[in-house]
Amino acid sequence: MHILWAPWRMAYIKNASKTKTCIFCEALRMSDEDALVVFRSEHTIIMLNKFPYNTAHVMIAPKRHVPRPDLLTDEEALDMHKALSITLRTIDCEYAPQGYNIGLNLGKVAGAGIESHMHIHVVPRWSGDTNYMPVTASTKVIPEDLLVTFTRLKKAFSEVLSDTQSK
C-alpha cells in the first residue's frame, strides 16, 4: 500500500469542523479578492483553494448549495462542465502544467471536507512537483503566494474568455 502524506493540510482539518458556514456560499457574498474567486459564470464559481495541494489548485462549485452532481439542473451541470473546460485552458495558458488531478469527493467518508456543497478540485501537476520535503520535513512547498496566483489566474481567465469569444 502506498500512502500519500499531506501534513500541511492539518491547519485546514483542525478548523474545518469548527466552520459552520459554507465557504462557497460565503464566497458568493464576498469580493473576488477576499474569497479568491477567479471566475464567476451564471451558475458556477471558481475559486482558489486556500489550502492547496499545488500552485493554481482551484475548486469549481455550483452557485446553488447542493451536495451531489445528480441534483444539479441540466443548465447547472453544463455550466460546470464549461467552467472545467475554461479552467483547463486558463491554467494551461498561464502555468503550462504537464497533467492534472481532477476530482469530486462526495460524502465525508470519501474525503469531502465540505460535504454539503459539491465541488470539483482541479490540481495542476508538473514533473518533479513532489519531492523530499513532505517526507523529510513535513512541509509542502507551494512556490507562489496565493494572492500572486489569484492575480495571475484572474487576468488569465479574462484573456482566455475574450480569446474564446472573439473566435
pLDDT grade for 133, boundaries at 50, 70 and 90: very low
* Residue 142 contacts residue 13 (beta carbons within 8 Å): no
- List the catalytic residue out of 57, 117, 119, 121: 119
Q: Is 5 exposed, middle or buried (0-12, 13-18, 19+ CB in 10 A)?
A: exposed
Q: What pTM value is reported for the model?
A: 0.82
Residues 67, 108: Cα–Cα separation, whole Å: 11
Laid out side by side, the sheet with 44-48 consists of 37-40, 44-48, 58-62, 120-125, 99-104
Q: Which residue has the higher pLDDT, 112 or 148?
A: 148
Q: Mean pLDDT in the chain?
A: 85
- Residue 164's pLDDT is 72
3-state secondary structure of 68: coil
Reply yes or no on whether 65 is catalytic: no
Class of domain 7-166: alpha beta
The predicted-structure confidence for 15-65, as pLDDT tens digits, reads as follows: 655 657 899 999 999 999 999 999 999 999 999 999 888 899 999 999 999
